[in-house]
Amino acid sequence: MELSYKKQNCTQVNEEYIGKECTLAGWVSTVRDLGGIIFVEVRDRSGLFQVVADPKVNPQVYEKFQELRSEFVIQVTGTISKRPDDTINEKLKTGTIEMYPSSIEILSRAIALPFVLDDEGVSEEVRLKYRYLDIRREKMLSNLTLRHKIVTAIRNYLNNNDFLEIETPNLTKATPEGARDYLVPSRVHDGKFYALPQSPQIFKQLLMVGGIEKYYQIARCFRDEDLRADRQPEFTQVDIEMSFVKQDDVINMAEGLVVDAFRAAGVDVKAPFKRLTWKEAMERYGSDKPDTRFGLELFDVSDIMAASTFEAFKSVVEKGGTVRAIKIPGIAGYSRKEMDDVRNLAISFGAKGLAWITYLEDGSVKSPVFKFLTQEQIDEIQKRADAQKGDIVFFVADTHKVVFDVLGRFRLYFGDRLGLIDKSQHDLLWVVDFPLFEYSEEEDRYVSVHHPFTMPAYEDIDKLETDKAHVKSIAYDVVYNGNELGGGSIRIHDPGIQEKAFKALGLSDEEIKNKFEFMINAFKYGTPPHGGIALGLDRLVALLVRANSIRDVIAFPKNAQAKCVMTQAPSDVSEAQLRELHIKLRNLPKIH
């Protein structure tokens, strides 16, 4: 596209343009003033192009070039020429050609930048404060470009499969469960608040009631929780819902989408992906998002410990807990201090203690728990672990939840520390058959693992009233290299089952009516069986560009304190604005 100020992009110009006139516009990337001749690299989004000012060729242009400084915005027009053979720069796409401009226009000047653009070591704090400059960096440009390509691939895939892209409200109703809401006060309605959506969940289900059948949205979601490297208060989900589907339909659709999204990032993966049940994932890897690029699988020794004289472990099993173990190869030589560190690590992960058996290189075997075990029991453990000289087997006894959590983290820790993870792999899998509920100690009731609209497994519907802990759900997560890319479920489309599900969560009739009446009503008017999935776009892109933080794939992210260091949001507002919103602060901000 030819623009008024610019007829070519920098890297569009190639040797075919030699002898032709071009007009480039962009930023001054570098000025190399050799005294009698000045070289300037012009940068636009496409890349770099060298222009040369020689007083013998054009004294007026040379004079103007002496004014140029880094990041000035300029327009140059001139004929493209081949560089002398010995001055070709192979690092540059346009390194065989250059321009001696016949005219130069300074479109805008720039003061000295707060940091050097090609310096990789600049702190994130500075980068975020001047994000508009940070975005000029090649790395950020390529991250945002790849994000665009991935979104484009996703849109193409869904459009080609007959989906409609539909927007849902950002001003909506506070949701009862889940994350904390961002609230938006209503000026029109004194004392009332909208909430920003944590996800378009309810609306996309109502679109199914509305007969849309196949919906998607690149949806902004908001959660007022503490941040992490991979969590922002506002983030983007690829939100999808389909009617007349069972689990395999959604999974097949999503696999095609992930394959296309990865291809857009230059990564070839093949569908179908592996599938693990939630139970298998927990028992083998201690995680519902297992990284299966390496082994170190957990194994069960509850039966052995229950038969031992080791009271601490025995009693755990008798109370319904479990004792599981993990074999870590080649660390039997750990010093006393290293073992103390390992034990402290286990405790920091939530273990009450840590037991182990060390298989020393000299063939001897040592353990603080041998006195509680018979030789047969010791042999059986070695057999299950397939322990060799140099290995250590660690044991944790507690509730299933704690044991899996501790050993799962142990596994990741040692996988990383021992360099067992093949970073070149692209390990994609589904975790299916999640439990529908989990018990919340804090609230002393069962809460949804996924959300309250998740369909129970057909064979478990009876258990909604009798055995909540063992109700499986038709919910599935897609996992990439040990990271949750997304998850979804088949939804309840039967008002009767939905009511049972709400009751199982301990919601009273009144609460159900207040919070979900519109939804229950909607479902009375003919609701297709439906289900869907949501994929975390920021995390997906961050993983594919191997960024340390999703902030690196978001143009204007918040920092870890949920502040925008560039705009200083969130900020105080005027008393007048508050009054209009009928809001009185408990602690007024300091006068400024």
What's the CA gap between 567 and 564, in Å, rounded?
6
Q: How far is the CB of 4 from RNA (least distance, A)?
A: 29
Tokens of 227: 């941040």
Query: CB of 549 within 8 A of CB of 214?
Result: no
Q: Which is nearer to RNA, 96 or 382 (CB)?
A: 96
Within its chain, how far is the Cα of 557 from the centroid?
Answer: 14
Within its chain, how far is the Cα of 106 from the centroid?
Answer: 42
Nearest to 372 by CA among 309, 302, 313, 324: 309
Q: Which is nearer to RNA, 5 or 518 (CB)?
A: 518
What's the CA gap between 62 and 40, in Å, rounded?
11
DSSP reduced 3-state for 129:
helix
Tokens of 37: 């001749």
Q: Which is nearer to RNA, 36 or 266 (CB)?
A: 36
Residues that bind RNA (CB under 7 A): 30, 32-37, 39, 41, 50, 52, 54-56, 69-70, 83-84, 86-89, 91-92, 95, 98, 112-116, 119, 121-126, 128, 175, 177-180, 198-199, 201, 223, 225-231, 442, 447-452, 549, 551, 559-561, 563, 565
Kindly tell me the burial class for residue 219, based on how many C-beta atoms sit within 10 Å of its own C-beta (0-12, 13-18, 19 or more): buried
What's the CA gap between 382 and 367, in Å, rounded?
12
Q: Which is nearer to RNA, 90 or 268 (CB)?
A: 90
Q: Which is nearer to RNA, 157 or 285 (CB)?
A: 285
Q: How far is the CB of 199 from RNA (least distance, A)?
A: 4
Q: Which is nearer to RNA, 119 or 459 (CB)?
A: 119
Q: Are strands 428-432 and 274-277 parallel, antiparallel or unpaired?
A: parallel
Q: Which is nearer to RNA, 25 or 221 (CB)?
A: 221
Nearest to 435 by CA among 450, 423, 421: 450
Element spanning 497, H or E: helix 495-504
Q: How far is the CB of 507 from RNA (least distance, A)?
A: 12
Q: Which is nearer to RNA, 87 or 156 (CB)?
A: 87
What's the CA gap between 429 and 484, in Å, rounded?
10
Q: How far is the CB of 512 from RNA (least distance, A)?
A: 14
Q: How far is the CB of 69 from RNA (least distance, A)?
A: 5
DSSP reduced 3-state for 185:
strand
Q: Which is nearer to RNA, 219 or 369 (CB)?
A: 219
Q: How far is the CB of 55 from RNA (least distance, A)?
A: 5
Element spanning 59, H or E: helix 59-65
| Partner residues linked to 437 by β-bridges | 448
What's the CA gap between 151 and 546, in Å, rounded?
17
Q: How far is the CB of 452 from RNA (least distance, A)?
A: 6
Element spanning 153, H or E: helix 138-160
| Partner residues linked to 216 by β-bridges | 165, 240
Q: How far is the CB of 111 from RNA (least distance, A)?
A: 9
